[in-house]
């Protein structure tokens, strides 16, 4: 199975704007690569260009040994010849076919044997919890059930590359969690390359081996999920991933130390020196500690809001003129208006210059 390479791919629908701009990516064979970003950032357009349903304005797309699009030579391989399985947000099932017929249709026209078809149908139907629905007509199904049929119909073909555009968007929260685990298991078992589109950062973090984060058609970062989470390339990446949202505080950079109020942090030698002195420091809720007593490197704050979520306690704490969201699990919770002391416990400091680029 092939790596998929995008080399300086751009797509414009109008003269003034780029839907996708100068996008270069190497999507590794067998990876679960997610295209992540807010609505309108170019995810679907990118997926459609890989599928061959949309022609780039310029650049090159290579699948394995085959140049499937080249703006220079004019090469273009038709979608059907790319050996890709596609599930789009809007899927068309055949309403007058049963669920089983919808799922097996592709195998039937490829003259796969009856025994093999039934075997694969059983496996897919049980993986996607469709066993009890096989004889129903698809017009009688809920949106979530239809979405699972659309996924099953593609998976049963065992494509080496699977393109999925927000395939879980019609499912309720519980089923979506189950289907994430199921898709992850299917990925592990089939070894297929999956290119997955979502605007849901949690979905991307939980499922992917690689995330390509896009903003306004421009790639912001392409890394493993935890790499983006812990070492975001810029302020946008830091802000887009993580729930609750990351806190940003104003800090001052001075030679090789960073100060935030009375707190001073030594910076590693690798830090860029030609920025500042005003920078912003990104602090995730779990990177901040809370204490009832003051110690070195702590700043005083006051509890504004207490937000228990069952497993975790989140607090909104006012420190000087900033409000921070902090996760803290203590046997005795803090209360509204308590005076607390906040400590920074980051393993990797996230510091951003004026333009929003990470400086470490
Ligand atoms: P996403 O899937 O990330 O929400 P899209 O790839 O669908 O984003 O769209 C990216 C940009 O391209 C948007 O600004 C969208 O309006 C524009 N766009 C997408 N498809 C077309 C089209 N067929 N014609 C004109 N503009 C389009
Ligand atoms: Mg889309």
- Rounded Cα distance, 218 and 24, in Å: 10
Q: 242 CA to middle of ligand 1, Å?
A: 25
* Residue 8 within a domain: yes
User: For the chain, where are the E strands, in sequence order?
Assistant: 4-11, 20-27, 32-36, 58-63, 66-70, 84-87, 161-165, 193-198, 210-215, 218-223, 247-254, 257-260, 263-266, 278-283, 288-291, 298-308, 313-319, 322-327, 339-344, 350-352
Report every protein residue that has its C-beta within 5 angstroms of ion ligand 2: 44
Q: 320 CA to middle of ligand 1, Å?
A: 43
Same domain, 173 and 82: yes
The H-or-E segment that residue 29 falls in is none
Pocket of ligand 1 (CB under 6 A): 13, 19, 37, 39-45
- Number of domains within the chain: 2
Which atom of ligand 1 sits closest to the CA of residue 214?
Answer: 3
pLDDT in tens, the chain (360 residues): 579 999 999 999 998 889 999 999 999 999 999 999 999 999 999 999 999 999 999 999 999 989 999 999 999 999 988 888 877 766 678 888 999 999 999 898 888 899 999 999 999 999 888 999 999 998 888 877 888 898 899 889 888 899 999 988 878 888 888 889 888 988 898 888 999 999 999 999 999 999 999 999 999 999 999 999 999 999 999 999 999 999 999 999 987 888 988 888 888 777 766 787 899 999 999 999 999 999 888 999 999 999 999 889 999 999 988 999 999 988 788 999 999 999 999 888 899 999 999 987
By most ligand atoms within 8 Å of CB, the mutation choice from 14, 16, 36, 40 for ligand 1 is: 40
Supply the residue whose CA is at minimum distance from atom 11 of ligand 1.
19
Domain that holds residue 20: 4-239
Same domain, 164 and 289: no
What are the beta bridge partners of residue 300? 341
Supply the residue whose CA is at minimum distance from atom 15 of ligand 1.
40
Same domain, 347 and 272: yes
* Residue 360 within a domain: no
Same domain, 262 and 162: no
* Residue 358 within a domain: no
Supply the residue whose CA is at minimum distance from atom 24 of ligand 1.
13
Same domain, 233 and 254: no
Same domain, 56 and 182: yes
């Amino acid at each position: 199975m092939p790596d998929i390479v995008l080399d300086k791919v751009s797509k414009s629908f109008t003269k003034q704007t780029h839907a996708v701009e100068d996008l270069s990516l190497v999507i590794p064979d067998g990876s679960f690569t997610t295209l992540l970003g807010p609505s309108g950032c170019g995810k679907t357009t990118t997926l459609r260009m890989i599928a061959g349903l949309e022609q780039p304005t310029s650049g090159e797309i290579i699948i394995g040994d085959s140049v499937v699009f080249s703006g220079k030579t004019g090469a273009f391989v038709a979608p059907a010849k790319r050996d890709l399985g596609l599930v789009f947000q809007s899927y068309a099932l055949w309403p007058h076919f049963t669920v089983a017929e919808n799922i097996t249709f592709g195998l039937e026209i490829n003259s796969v044997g009856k025994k093999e078809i039934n075997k694969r149908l059983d496996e897919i139907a049980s993986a996607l919890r469709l066993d009890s629905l096989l004889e129903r007509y698809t017009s009688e199904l809920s949106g979530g059930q239809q979405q699972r049929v659309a996924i099953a119909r593609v998976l049963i073909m065992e494509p080496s590359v699977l393109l999925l555009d927000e395939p879980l968007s019609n499912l309720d929260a519980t089923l979506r969690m189950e289907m994430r685990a199921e898709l992850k298991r299917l990925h592990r078992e089939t070894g297929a390359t999956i290119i997955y589109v979502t605007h849901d950062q949690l979905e991307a973090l939980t499922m992917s081996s690689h995330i390509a984060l896009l903003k306004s058609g421009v790639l912001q970062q392409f890394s493993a999920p935890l790499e983006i989470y812990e070492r975001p390339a810029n302020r946008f990446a830091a802000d887009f991933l993580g729930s609750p949202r990351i806190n940003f505080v104003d800090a001052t950079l001075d030679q090789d130390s960073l100060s935030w109020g009375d707190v001073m942090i030594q910076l590693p030698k690798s830090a860029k020196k030609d920025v500042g002195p005003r920078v912003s420091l990104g602090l995730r809720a779990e990177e901040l500690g809370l204490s009832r007593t003051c110690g070195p490197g702590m700043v005083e704050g006051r509890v504004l809001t207490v937000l228990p979520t069952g497993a975790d306690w989140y607090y909104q704490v006012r420190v000087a003129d900033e409000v921070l969201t902090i996760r803290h699990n203590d046997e005795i919770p803090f209360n509204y208006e308590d005076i607390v002391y906040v400590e920074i416990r980051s393993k990797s400091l996230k510091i951003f210059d004026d333009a929003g680029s990470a400086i470490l």
